[in-house]
Chains A and B, each alone.
Chain A
Amino acid sequence: MLKSSLKLIAIGVASLSVSAAQAQQSQQPEIGPAPSFDLPDTHTIQLANGLEATFIDFGLAPKVNISIQVLAGNVFDGEHTYLADIVAGMMEEGAAGETSEDIARAFASMGGDMNVGVGMHTTSFSANVLSEFGPDAIRRMATIIQQPDLPDSEFDRLLQNQIRNMTVARSQAGPLATEAYVGLLYGTDHPYGEGLPDVGEMDSFTMDLVRQFHVDHFGAARTRIYIAGRFDQSAMEAAIRDAFADWEAGPETGVPPAAIRPGPVVRLINREDAPQTTIRLGFPAPEIGTDDAIRMTVMNALLGGSFTSRLTRNLREDKGWTYSPGSGITNRVGSSYWTFNADIVTEHTVEAFSEIFDEIQTLQLNLPDDDEATGMRNWLSGIFILQNASTGGLIGQISSRDFFGLPDDYLETYVDRINAVTNGDISSVASDYLPLNDMVLVIVGDLDSIEDGIRAFPQLADAEFITDSE
């Protein structure tokens, strides 16, 4: 049987729609109660030197995901932005007499690379290897973390790599906008407000700084290990005790306190002839773990943080002015912030701001209807399963809970707390935390086309404007 051909009546008014022969009005099947989902059991041990290790039994593939997280991230860079990255890179260059090539081959033979990632707070060593090699991977990672060779011979090359990467990052509108944005929120004298290092600044890095950073910021008491997947727990535990028990606790630490600043402030960065405008718009937000933080989570999903959010529907699905707008909350120690970001076609940038401000104000003044708000609570509850349905996801969720010192049952109670957020809560946190007259805003784009329109907004009447060219 052939599909009946659908006739167009006239271009411009007709549409691809169903013919009479195929019409089939039907009702959506009911969606029953959500399935129950329990987080996997975890088991944590602590060694005498303070190192903790958490075991998460999960998954089907015969693999084990190992993450060793040391409190030695960029927040400890001091005046040398991205020093932690150079240290991490140098640590991969050989340990206890083995070269980087030896190490790379050893991990490849186990079915995985060892990766070192530097975040704002931690430097993480991770390897996702075939299960049978888990204990061997632990032993090798322990050697790399405790006894890196830090060979002088590799320093110049790694520094050049970092400089090259920074040069490329600075040619992209997104990283430039984010750098300027965090600088406005925290000031550039705190690592939270440092974006990318300047190339000239990196020339001052030395091997002495690298060695000192390792001495000052690595140690057992600042380290947490997460093991997730399919593994032999007693063998993995024995490997951890064997490889880490003799390590010194290391220097005590604390994240340097940071103060977050509200606006009103606008930074304009010119990118001549750019076809799109890249924006970061935000405000300080309640700290993770507070009642308002969970309310902000639901508000964020509804306003800009999901595909069905108001800002996405408006700017993308209604207007077609942007491809992938979004909003989210970033958590730091002692503070958090909410950000809306988008790349908007230049010719509609000013109109888009008008829509963004209207959407925020509308939510502040009117409670969302129950269908919309319930949809958002359901979405957050449902994706919580997905967020915890992989070894990497579980490690991320559990380590974040541990890092921010949240209650042990934080994840177990998360869905209930999401569902307890009322429609009124959503509007009230929008009012409390998104004051349009105090926004922090960064715009990277073709200023000739957009600057006058931006400056005319009454919401920015009291804002300090900072203008510079790219």
Chain B
Amino acid sequence: MSNRYFAVLGALALFACSEPATTPATGDNTETQSTVSGLQVDVSYHTMENGLRVVLSEDHSVPTATVAVYYGVGFRNEPRNRTGFAHLFEHLMFQGSENLPKGDFDSLIYGAGGVNNGSTRFDFTNYFEVVPSNALEAIVWAEGDRMRAPIIDQEVLENQQGVVTNEVLVNVINQPYGGWIWIDLPMLANENWHNAHNFYGDLTDLENANLEDVQSFFDTYYAPNNAVIAVVGSFDSGETLAWIEREFGNIPASEPAPPIDISEPRQEEEKFGEIHDRLAPQPALGFGYHMPERGSPEYYAMAVLDQILVQGDDSLLTQRIVNEEGYASGVFGGINLLGNMYNYNGPMLWSVGMIHDDGYSHEEIMATVDTVIEGLRTEPISSEQLDRAITKLRSEFYDIVDSSSRFGLADLLASFALFDDDPSRINRIEQGFDQVTPELVLATAQEYLRPTNRSVLRVIPDPDGTMSENPSGDGE
């Protein structure tokens, strides 16, 4: 193992200002690097013989360690008749492994004074733990046991089908507005099934899942060559790398999963949809625009537009709709509502939503939105606007990276290793912001904030459930 060494920065401190970033010694990254201001994260990167990618980042300010195992499988990969399966499988990975029967994994972590969780997103499924540093070796062992030999039988499958069904009920079906903007809007906006299905799962698909599905999914996706382990916090890198080699090194690779086409065509016409919601007391409106490709100059420009339009009290849509028009208490939105602008790898929406008063049509509200957005499509923003947006982006980026659990940092390192084979990309994010110009923002707004690039979804209160059948709403 450790046959590939990427950027290994000298500074052990998480933040070492004005440290020049080293150029990767090998690999697919051709960007040249200049001195960057602000954030410098210590990154050590290794790929084991079985394909497992390992990212280590030391920071000794608090005596804890965060372990994050990411598998390259998410909503987009699930089988067509098994919507919600990637998430159900995530639950099953907590149900025990060869040396840790059901319950023992959680007991190990909690008994050591830690916490753990997992999540399923468009492009990955993750499992993570935050523990006092003394428990790190045991956690590495436990994650290795889980990757190598999870134990999933009919009993735990049925148990977790019940738990996941309850999760969908509490988060979507028994909630006003349920999944409108994070499930239904992508379903409306996307054309490709991989991006456009109900990824929380139709309840019948969840009920129909069987052990053959489990086996096939595990064989295809849960292997070291489709995974990343990131360890962040207070530990010794050499010692930890040896533990990872011991616990994961003999897990065999699998045949790489067949590639899937997740591309979306360029949207040429504005789309509209509506949901009839039995529980919602007031109408809501959401809209989403397809994003530029992740990592492109236009992507960073969209991040600036996001800040200008919808992030914070100073944002233009907040000022216009909340403070001037006054028919909504707030306007929210962003890039990748199930995560952040960094942790996805495929077609994505920039989305905005609001709950608003009765008596305002979606045409009227969108006309107001258009007066704001069209301004950005006709005139370049001022340098003051750009500076303010970049200050907000940088501040938000620091908050992600400097969270108390260090999960935000582990998440970015693992995502960049999984998607780009390049976790040191984290040290070049700020450069991406700095390269945005008012002209680029204008050109990006012109192409990506076209009305024909967006989908508009209304939520209409339907207290008696008497409105027409609702194929994509909360009634499934």
Using a CB–CB cutoff of 8 Å, the interface residues on chain A facing chain B are 1-6, 8, 11-18, 22-37, 59-63, 92, 100-101, 103-105, 107-114, 128-130, 157, 160-162, 164-165, 167-168, 170-173, 274-276, 306-308, 313, 316-324, 343-345, 374-376, 378-383, 385-386, 389-390, 392-393
Contacts and interface: CB of A to CB of B under 8 A. Distances in A.
Interface residues of B, number: 107
A172 B175 contact: yes
- Among B14, B214, B314, B319, max chain A CB count under 10 A is at B314
Contacts of B281: 167-168, 170-171
B176 interface: yes
A135 B428 CA distance: 30
B102 interface: yes
Q: Which 4 A-B pairs have the closest CB atoms?
A: A382-B113, A320-B162, A111-B395, A390-B404
B466 to A, nearest CB: 14
A164 B166 contact: no
B355 interface: yes
A5 B132 CA distance: 37
Contacts of A22: 148-149, 251-252
A378 B113 CA distance: 5
Contacts of A63: 395, 398-399, 402
A293 to B, nearest CB: 20
Interface string B244-256: 0000001111110
Contacts of B322: 161
B319 A389 contact: no
Interface string B150-171: 1111100011111111110111
Contacts of B116: 307
**Helix, strand, loop or mixed for chain B's interface?**
mixed
B97 to A, nearest CB: 8
B130 interface: yes
Contacts of B38: 62
- Among A4, A28, A114, max chain B CB count under 10 A is at A28
Interface stretch (B135-143, B267-275, B411-419): B135-143
A360 B153 CA distance: 30
Interface of B: 13-15, 17, 38, 50, 59, 61-64, 92, 98-100, 102-103, 106-108, 110-116, 130-135, 137-138, 141-142, 145, 148-154, 158-167, 169-171, 173-176, 210-212, 214-215, 218-219, 223, 234, 243, 250-255, 279-282, 312-314, 319, 322-323, 326, 328-330, 355, 357, 387-388, 391-392, 394-395, 398-399, 401-405
B114 to A, nearest CB: 6
A70 to B, nearest CB: 20
B363 to A, nearest CB: 21
Contacts of B110: 306-308, 375-376, 378-379
A26 B391 contact: no
A307 B132 CA distance: 18
A344 B163 CA distance: 10
A12 B251 CA distance: 27
Contacts, number: 292
A100 B13 CA distance: 39
A25 B282 contact: no
A317 B138 contact: no
Given A26-B145, A60-B59, A33 B134 contact: yes
A301 B164 CA distance: 24
B176 A18 contact: no
A379 to B, nearest CB: 4
Contact of A171 (B92, B98, B102, B279): B279
A447 to B, nearest CB: 15
A133 to B, nearest CB: 9
Contacts of B212: 8, 11
Contacts of B113: 34, 378-383, 385
Given A171-B176, A318-B159, A345-B162, A24 B98 contact: yes
A322 B164 CA distance: 9
Given A25-B98, A60-B402, A35 B133 contact: yes
Contacts of B357: 160, 164
A36 to B, nearest CB: 7
- Among A25, A29, A105, max chain B CB count under 10 A is at A29
Contacts of B14: 60
A11 B62 CA distance: 48
A460 B308 CA distance: 56
Contacts of A113: 312-313
A60 B115 contact: no
Given A15-B151, A63-B399, A108-B312, A320 B158 contact: yes
8 contacts: A16-B214, A25-B98, A29-B137, A130-B391, A161-B326, A172-B279, A308-B107, A381-B113
A1 to B, nearest CB: 5
Given A18-B98, A24-B149, A128 B399 contact: yes
Contact of A323 (B64, B163, B176, B398): B163
A161 B62 CA distance: 41
A386 B399 contact: no
A15 B153 CA distance: 4
B64 A389 contact: yes
A187 B26 CA distance: 69
Contacts of A101: 314, 319, 323
B244 to A, nearest CB: 13
A4 B252 contact: yes
Given A2-B254, A164-B328, 7 more contacts: A24-B250, A62-B38, A63-B399, A109-B387, A113-B312, A172-B175, A379-B113
